Amino acid sequence: MSRDEQLKERWETLVQKLSNQFADGDTLDLDAIIYLIGVQELGQLGRTFKKDQKLDLMHIAICKVLVPYGYYELDFVDDDGWPHYKMLEKLPFLKAGEQSVLMKEAIVGYFLETKYIN
Q: What is the pLDDT of residues 60-92, one digit of tens each?
A: 999 999 999 999 999 999 999 999 999 999 998
Q: What is the pLDDT of residue 53?
A: 95
3-state secondary structure of 74: strand
- Please state, in angstroms and rounded to a whole number, the distance separating the CA atoms of residues 57 and 38: 4
Supply the DSSP symbol for 26: P
The answer to pTM > 0.75 is yes
- For residue 39, the Cα-to-chain-centroid distance in whole angstroms is 10
For 8-21, what is the mean pLDDT?
95
pLDDT band for position 1 (cuts 50, 70, 90) = confident
- Closest residue by Cα to residue 113 from 40, 47, 55: 40
Kindly write down the DSSP assignment for every residue of 82-118, as one continuous string.
Answer: -EEEEESSPPPP--HHHHHHHHHHHHHHHHHHTTS--
